[in-house]
Structure 1
Amino acid sequence: MKKRSIHVFRLAHLRYTCLLLLIVFLLGCKTTSTVQNNQNIKTGEIPIREYSVQSVLWQQQSAEYKALCYQAFNIARYRLEDRLSQEVAQDKPLAIITDIDETVLDNSPNQAKMIEQDVEYSRDGWAKWVRLEKAEPVPGALEFMEYARSMGVEVYYVSNRSVDHQQETLANLQKMGFPYADNDHILLKSTVSGKEGRRKTVATDREIILLMGDNLSDFSELFDNRSTAERNAAAQSLQPEFGNRFIVLPNPMYGDWETKGIYEGKYNWTPVQKDSLRRAKLIGF
């Protein structure tokens, strides 16, 4: 009986020792990783996508982002109801033009993946995300578009996604339940990135009562390929339109404000040069 007790004690001690060694090993791995990350920061080797972490977290986690989206679609509904209540001659069917990305579909998981992999935007990476057809609706978007449909107002999706992604885009919108998700109502980019031509195509036989987007070029060609100063001046000149005919959705992650504004329309900056440009354009005191 005594020998058996000693044997059991030795087995328990062995198991405890193995468990302790495993814990020490795992903690060592984690510590090594943390130390390595800290060393990278100390030596200036900051991940190239580190600057975008805060904006992606804000879109994915903050209640303020959701509130702003709800606010935008609430205003859109008020404007739609106001137009429908007007007793005016209606020569053409009513329609809404909306952007897709960060207006009705949330692509922040793609931005998060870029941070995880520490890579810049690439067409291949974007195509991989689009093919998954997993972008979720922007808060409030689905409800508003369905309301517009119920009131007899058509929805046209005018996006700068490539026409090569027509079927995946169509499938994603359909999976999420968006109305008018068909080839006749989705106008993607072919050779020209400016949306004015596509807007005019819709306006040929439709009265456009609302335009919705996260990028100001979703509303007017005045914002196409413009500098920061020019974009700000155009926004001021169109001030009465915002909240009336133009409904803007928040997008802190990317857009013309960054590529055409901060990076001055150039796409060959190195990560170090981009960092310098961002810092140079901060306004402090």
Structure 2
Amino acid sequence: MKSPWTLFVTSTSLLLSLSLLPSCSISVGQRTTIEQAHQGQYMSPTLGGKLFTSAWMQRSAEYKALCQQAYNIATERLLAATSDPRNKGKKWAIVTDIDETIVDNSANSVHQALKGKDYEQASWDHWCDLSEAVALSGAVEFFRLADSLGVSIYYISNRDEVNKPGTKRNLIALGFPQVDEEHFMFRDASRSSDKTARRSAVLRSHEILMLLGDNLGDFDHIFDVRDEEKRDESVKVFAKEFGRRFIVLPNPNYGAWEPAMNGGYPKLEEKDAKLRTLLRSHRE
């Protein structure tokens, strides 16, 4: 039996279509998931956006192609470095994020959206315990190749320590290598999202060949700011690293760009109001 986190595209399409109606009640299976009881009440743009981006991640060939493209580039960089005689004897490491970098968690976004809710810690922890995230196209093959070439893999994630058991079960079931305590570097009790110290710990014993992530903070702390202009300028600073030392995976569902755009993590209703004023629109 599929878990309630699984997205059925027919249900999502129905939900998106009926969201345009002035009043509707939408059921998935035997459970009513969204009710719009008052005339003129429409689905939240943020809610609808999460469903639409999740549908793209789960159903489009384009998303799979972009992920495969990122891992193809990573593979070229890996083979070039490990076959170069000048690098003989180097202790190489690859640093990778987990969420939306090697696995797809959009099912949890759908689960929350169908309840009319945004991210919640309890729901996220339960999702991690389920161990049902699926691997991104090209991810398992790339990391197994790196493992076969003697490269150390460090999973530097902002999942919490409590999420480790479920994460390990999930990654082992998917076939990822080096899934053990030594190579897992999760967020500590301080709950800081800054990964600098963890990357530095890897550098004490290895040379980092490349870093993979969906969020630019996975590469450098300079991107962990709530200022869109500074983040844009930092992209220019590191322009030559993208596709070389930094491999970026697509993630339209969430990321540091959201608090940079919104000035933090406002409530769903406030997000919707901001979207109406922040986005550019074609003028008649």
Q: Same fold judged by TM-score > 0.5?
A: yes
* Larger gyration radius, structure 1 or structure 2: 1
Which amino acid in structure 1 is aligned with residue 215 of structure 2?
A: N
Q: Does 1:275 align with 2:249?
A: no
Distance 2:119 2:157 in 1: 18
Provide the residue aligned with 2:24 in structure 1. 37
Provide the residue aligned with 1:263 in structure 2. 262
The 3-state SS of whatever aligns with 2:24 is helix
Measured after TM superposition, the shift of residue 117 of structure 1 is: 1.6
Measured after TM superposition, the shift of residue 271 of structure 1 is: 2.4
CA contact (8 A) 1:130 1:169 kept: yes
* Two-structure CA RMSD over aligned residues (Å): 1.9
Determine which structure has the larger helix proportion and give its number: 1
Distance 2:194 2:154 in 1: 16
**What are the equivalent positions in structure 2 for 1:6-155 lying under 5 Å apart?**
36-37=23-24, 43-47=40-44, 49-90=47-88, 92-155=90-153
Measured after TM superposition, the shift of residue 89 of structure 1 is: 4.8
CA contact (8 A) 1:262 1:278 kept: no
Task: Report the number of matched residues.
Answer: 250
Moved more, 140-149 or 80-89: 80-89
Provide the residue aligned with 1:9 in structure 2. none
Any gaps of 5 or more consecutive residues in structure 2?
1-17, 26-35
Structure-1-length-normalised TM-score: 0.83
Distance 1:41 1:94 in 2: 60
CA contact (8 A) 1:52 1:253 kept: yes
The 3-state SS of whatever aligns with 1:236 is helix
Moved more, 81-90 or 161-170: 81-90
Provide Cα deviations, 1:228-253, integer angstroms capped at 9, x if missing partner: 11111101111000000000000000
The 3-state SS of whatever aligns with 2:232 is helix
Measured after TM superposition, the shift of residue 40 of structure 1 is: 5.5
Distance 1:89 1:144 in 2: 20
Provide the residue aligned with 1:199 in structure 2. 199
Distance 2:121 2:218 in 1: 21
Provide the residue aligned with 2:28 in structure 1. none
Distance 2:50 2:77 in 1: 34
Distance 1:124 1:188 in 2: 18
What percentage of aligned pairs have identical amino acids?
A: 38
Distance 2:173 2:59 in 1: 24
CA contact (8 A) 1:216 1:223 kept: yes
**What are the equivalent positions in structure 2 for 1:103-252 lying under 5 Å apart?**
103-190=101-188, 191=190, 192-252=192-252
Distance 2:56 2:138 in 1: 17
Distance 1:209 1:178 in 2: 18
